[in-house]
Amino acid sequence: MKVLKQLFRSMGLIGLIITTSMASAGQVVVRKSSEPFDAFAVRDEVQKLHQWREALRFQQQLQILQSLPLGCIAMPTPYQYFSCQGLFYRPYQYQNQDVFIQIDPPNPATN
Contact between residue 71 and residue 87 where contact means Cβ atoms under 8 Å apart = no
Q: What is the phi/psi pair of residue 66, to 5°?
A: -85, -20
Instruction: Please write the tens of the pLDDT for every residue from 70-111.
Output: 999 998 877 889 999 999 999 988 888 889 988 888 876 654
Domain ranges of the chain: 59-106
The DSSP code for 110 is -
pTM listed for this prediction: 0.44
Q: Is 89 exposed, middle or buried (0-12, 13-18, 19+ CB in 10 A)?
A: buried
The terminus-to-terminus CA distance of the chain in angstroms comes to 66
Taking only the tens place, the pLDDT of each residue in 49-61 is 888 787 777 665 6
